Structure 1
């Protein structure tokens, strides 16, 4: 009995530390698990007297398979002011430009300009070079007002553009960003995609981001409405042209320049990009996971240890306690697992998924840990972040990717 005591005591201590961590996350991490940070409904008669002009910039690289589901929704936006869509073909080989023009001819709606910037110069991520070019093309006709930076796989339901601008004007925000509702149809998407949003909110609690004067900065790259003057002042996107995680980099640049940000979950903005297989989800996450850790080995080790402590320990402790008859170990592990499950449930409800998936979050978290480790492995093999036929070289010493990911 005494020979087993140190091992059991250490197990209980670890389980209690995990439980304390979940207690802190529950009450001290900005209510990250809540899903009620949404655009407020427009009050009757609350529309502005004059609607500002909006240039919609859409970077696109080999997006012919999703454009039929996304581009018509942008062109169909009924906006009271001037608005135009600028689709920037970033070296596509699948007929993206021709298809975009054909869709515009068929559907009509907002004017569409299709342009191409050529290959990105050294030091530029492809998506950011396309955004930079699109902003430049739009500058002549849209010197003032707003830019809507949105991805080619993002569909905007009717009224989306109007609601974004109205919210920015009503609340005096320089940036209004919505995290698009990602596609959740296959088994792997159900297991991994809601957790992606949950983990993102845990790292960047929306309420902290939206706090005026706060230091937490993040945005959702699929849907970012930004005042043109603020974009110029913050150097968007030249100030972070090499960033792999461009949306967080944009938000940091805006906050450094004194701008204000609002970020929340979307009701009218949806991603139509499918990730039916685990391999596709794996590539999507691993391409930028190590960049999020600033290519820092110490942060990598701390992150992997933290994921194990917070997500793996509770179910392991609960099962070990039940098997060995250790009531305290069982209680600590079960309590931590219950808190974890409870905080994940709102995200599953937002995605209209069954709640029985919530207790499986530890398994999903370990998948994310494996993806993060694989991201670091690819980095040290010199492959950098690979996406759509481009491989971005590992940063030079002292260079950081300021932190979802550039095409």
Structure 2
């Protein structure tokens, strides 16, 4: 049994090393523009915000003070917050002299079949269209979460990439907070698993079908959104960022997804429970609610991540040199592929040994997501529970 299991696991890691687009290199990064754009198109920034009064003092100034050569305005959609989100945003804009640039919308009640974020974005987009004096005033929309703090040149980098590469969508997986022990265990692993599931080099290759985006920061061409039929075309999608990217690439429009360290999330996770809630909310949705895909995921994660350390322990206890060698090589290769992501988060290589533990916890989160779905609890987020099957 050990010969068969460890042989498959080793071949699997060799396949990830040599295939999957070299996802593990974590090298899809936007370079600083060599030359600024001579004609910067207008950008409308849409921020869906629900109970974000604590985050906005850190994040909203970064958008109000962008170093961008074109016109940009911000629409913050206060999605029925209970903590004074809209008032806090207004105070920040007034203090920075940005009241003319910031528009605060009071979100309407959530209609049936919509997720809160998509409904907020749809309302923001309607407001942009109503207020724009000319149809081409805002060529792009920047969709960004209220907890994202942007680098001063964030907008310039995203637009430059879109303009010079002819892209309809440019997205950054921003740097997530990684401070506590739980963060160090789970956050880099989350980024690693996301890159493995959606290899960024394949996403960025127009000849590949793979498509994904990171919802915290997406630059989207308005004409592309119009082709899709607005955010209503994504209605009911809980994994709205990747769904959007798949629809855009399905139109034959090239997209780009990469990493950034200068634009980051201020949202604190810090505990196992907070990360667990984030992942279990949509993990089973990612598997299309299929029990067979769930079974395959559990078996695959166990084979690839858990058996190597277990086999190494068994080989040491029973004194089986070949088993120690094969499992040690497999675990070492696993850590080597994980190292670039760890380096991105300024963590030492030794943290690579914890990837099997992180994989085990993420497998349990996925099982919990399926359990909640089968109990009819749907997906909960920001005080809302979305019905089963949404």
Q: What TM-score, normalized to structure 1? A: 0.93
Residue 316 of structure 1, CA deviation: 0.8
One of 6, 14, 28 as aligned partner of 1:15: 6
One of 93, 97, 120 as aligned partner of 2:110: 120
The 5 Å alignment of 1:119-198 reads 119-142=109-132, 143-144=135-136, 145-198=139-192
Q: Deviations over 1:323-369 (max 9, x none)?
A: 11112211221111011000111111101112211111000000000
Mapped to 1, the partners of 2:126 and 2:67 lie a distance apart of: 24
2:282 aligns to what SS in structure 1?
helix
**Matching of residue 253 in structure 1 with residue 232 in structure 2:** no
Provide closer, same or farther for how the CA distance between residues 380 and 192 of structure 1 changes in structure 2, counting only shifts above 3 A.
same
One of 203, 206, 231 as aligned partner of 2:200: 206
CA contact (8 A) 1:90 1:126 kept: yes
CA contact (8 A) 1:67 1:153 kept: yes
**Matching of residue 59 in structure 1 with residue 48 in structure 2:** yes
Aligned residues: 385
CA contact (8 A) 1:318 1:330 kept: yes
Mapped to 2, the partners of 1:173 and 1:136 lie a distance apart of: 23
Q: Deviations over 1:24-55 (max 9, x none)?
A: 01111111111211012211xx3332110000
Match in the other structure for 1:5: none
Mapped to 2, the partners of 1:30 and 1:14 lie a distance apart of: 25
Q: Deviations over 1:82-101 (max 9, x none)?
A: 10010001111110000001
1:33 aligns to what SS in structure 2?
helix
Match in the other structure for 1:285: 279
The 5 Å alignment of 1:246-395 reads 246-395=240-389
Mapped to 2, the partners of 1:349 and 1:108 lie a distance apart of: 39
Mapped to 1, the partners of 2:234 and 2:388 lie a distance apart of: 15
Match in the other structure for 1:36: 27
Mapped to 1, the partners of 2:229 and 2:310 lie a distance apart of: 48
Mapped to 1, the partners of 2:254 and 2:125 lie a distance apart of: 21
Q: Deviations over 1:378-405 (max 9, x none)?
A: 001111000111000012xxxxx6xxxx
Q: Deviations over 1:150-177 (max 9, x none)?
A: 0000000111111110111111111110
1:149 aligns to what SS in structure 2?
strand
Mapped to 2, the partners of 1:295 and 1:179 lie a distance apart of: 25
**Matching of residue 92 in structure 1 with residue 81 in structure 2:** yes
CA contact (8 A) 1:236 1:250 kept: no
Match in the other structure for 1:239: 233
Mapped to 2, the partners of 1:212 and 1:281 lie a distance apart of: 33
- Give me the CA root mean square deviation: 1.1
Mapped to 2, the partners of 1:81 and 1:140 lie a distance apart of: 20
Mean CA deviation greater in 46-55 or 204-213: 46-55
Mapped to 2, the partners of 1:373 and 1:327 lie a distance apart of: 35
**Matching of residue 223 in structure 1 with residue 213 in structure 2:** no
